[in-house]
Amino acid sequence: MRLCLSLSSLACALFLSLTGTAHAQSAAPPPPEAAKPAEPTQAPQVAAALASPFPPAFPGQTNGPVVVSQTRYKVTTIASGFNYPWAIAFLPDGRMLVTEKPTGKLYIVTQQGAKSAPVTGLPPVDGRGQGGLMDVEVGPDYAQSRYIYWSYYEPREAGNGRPTAGNGLAVARGKLVDGPQPRIEALQIIFRMKPTLDSTLHAGGRIVFHPDGTLFVTLGERSILPGRVQARQLNSHFGKIVRIFPDGTVPSNNPFYNQVGARSEIFSLGHRNILAAALDSRGRLWEAEMGPLGGDELNLVERGKDYGWPTIGYGTEYSGAPIHQSGQGPGMEQPVYFWNPVISPSGMTIYSGNLFPEWRGNIFIGALSGHALVRLVLQNDRVVGEERLKPANNARVREVVQGPEGALYLLTDDPNGRLLKMTPQ
């Protein structure tokens, strides 16, 4: 067990993020198209270099007031030795499902840290770059169906109209058979991102169940230019959030259902790469998505709305070259909040538990390049305070979820990834 107390300020966290990696999603060196320029060592110079090319659309849209928690907490290491873990989901008995991104392995982990053998029966993954096994969720009807759901980069061969091999995000479900050698039975692929593209970047991958019986899947725009330009096109899944039923069928009240030339699964469009999403107490979907060099966003997602990427935004290319002509545009939504410098958001929960009363209603986001757990205080759907917590010391935080007892659980993003638990001190 490791105990720590962290009440870090935003200013300190900004310095740490500025002197670290700008926006890498994996600790391994990024591929050439995602490479970041070398950064100066002096924080003021870096801040100037990363200043947004456009002013915010309204006061408080960025650089919110620094807040400091009065809450004291301790951090327990439940388990370690995960190879770049990505997601956590809770089984009804309190055990956890934990995914490993590059290996495609899924484990069952007890609260005491015991790991199962890898769950067998999952389909193969394309684990290159930012690919692999991503999110995992336990079906709302798990007690009856035993279904779990997961997202992954699916390798795809040439054929069926595809001249070359590639990949795309897919979502699968299967019945979890517990025991000394856990396995998946009755495997079904319920969603496939289309079209297929050969890219190891920006496929998104968060799964969020809604109380209305549907599920949201967040999708990236594949980063490379042939994918980026499709983020606002309705004939492509790239850069979208989609909404489906658990069996993969499409709800008839989706905004573009049966619209000619549109993919019926689409719920919202104009996104870059979403690795963090959660529902609030009203059942509304919030997401945090990665910008380029600057311009990470927090959005409150609404049905059929266009969030503007790549037409508008608050960042630049990694080279410093411009992407947008403006931060605003007609018919396109503004982010509730944006970061510049970036935090590289991955994993999100909106706290509703009783262990930390001060934090109830706050948004928690894992920060990869920010090396922190970001806490946002909201008022009337606007950010009125931001804090950078350090429960993982200076590690990259890949995932944050609220446990059934109200504790916060984290994953660190590294080849010896840790599963951490935050409880009151």
Burial class for 80, CB neighbours closer than 10 Å (0-12, 13-18, 19+)? middle
Rounded alpha-carbon distances, angstroms, from residue 219 to 97, 168, 267, 376, 418: 22, 10, 11, 24, 26
| 420: β partners | 77, 410
Residue tagged 């990427």 (tokens): 309
Counting every residue written for the chain, the total comes to 425
SS3 content of the chain, % helix, strand, coil (to 5): 5, 35, 55
CB 410 within 8 A of CB 366: yes
Region of 290 (left: φ > 0; alpha: ψ -120 to 50; beta: rest) is beta
Catalytic option among 202, 237, 324, 371: 202
Instruction: Tell me the three state secondary structure of residue 145.
Output: helix
State yes or no: is 202 an active-site residue: yes
SS3 labels along 309-360: CCCECCCECCCCCCCCCECCCCCCCCCCEEECCCCCEEEEEECCCCCCHHHC
Task: Quote the tokens at residue 170.
Answer: 């897919």
Q: What is the per-residue burial (b if ≥16 Cβ within 10 Å, else e) of 203-213?
A: bbbbbbbeeee
How far apart, in whole angstroms, are the C-alpha atoms of residue 133 and residue 121? 13
| 106: β partners | 99
| 389: β partners | 373
Q: In what order do the strands lie in the sheet with 266-268?
A: 207-209, 215-218, 241-244, 266-268
Sign of CA dihedral 2, 288, 63, 376: negative
How far apart, in whole angstroms, are the C-alpha atoms of residue 9 and residue 14? 9
Rounded alpha-carbon distances, angstroms, from residue 1 to 80, 143, 355, 367: 12, 32, 19, 23
List, by residue number, the catalytic residues. Answer: 202
